[in-house]
Amino acid sequence: MVTTPRVGVLALQGDVREHAALLADLGAEVVLVRRPEELATVAGLVIPGGESTVIDKLSRIFGLQEPIRAAIADGMPVLGTCAGLIMISNELVDGIEGQQTFGGLDVRTRRNAFGRQTESFEAELHVPELGDAPVHAAFIRGPVVESVGRSAATLASLPDGRVVAVEQGSLLGISFHPEISGEPRFHQRFLDRVAARG
């Protein structure tokens, strides 16, 4: 019997609805996670784009920071997009004073590496792990991975070499917004990780 994966979208701030809709289209049962008891009911978590500083502060206010850190340490599959990539990075460059991340992903990430929202752009990316068809990626004030540690692997880079997608075990972090461009393959890869973990 095939079971429907029950996954969460961290719903403190950001483009929550778009992720939830894409996951539902892929057959997942989606829980909007705002409290530790909701996190405890899911087998995987998507951390959406938005403002990493706000997500950090609200995760502490709502008592989610430590439970999410524990879930990541325990191997829960997590997909972080844009601000979500920042939140799962072990090291953050140019964060505001006191800003914290959940950590887990062996990378150093820079916030707002592509400038202001008016400097948003789209690009076609080659991601061999997702097949031959290019990934249409929308970058909106996205971060960039400045260095990839030995535990993590690069999935995609821009033509100039800047790393914009990384993976480490059950963690997947990307600088752009597949939920906006309608690109389902990263979410499917995340759901495959959830299914493999049982």
| Residues acting as catalytic residues | 82, 177, 179
Helix or strand (DSSP H, E) at 102 = none
Q: How far is CA 28 from the centre of its chain?
A: 17
3-state helix vs strand vs coil in the chain, percent to 5: 30, 30, 40
Nearest to 185 by CA among 81, 55, 33, 49: 81
Q: Would you tell me how many other CB atoms lie within 10 Å of the CB of residue 11? A: 20
The 3-state DSSP class for residue 139 equals strand
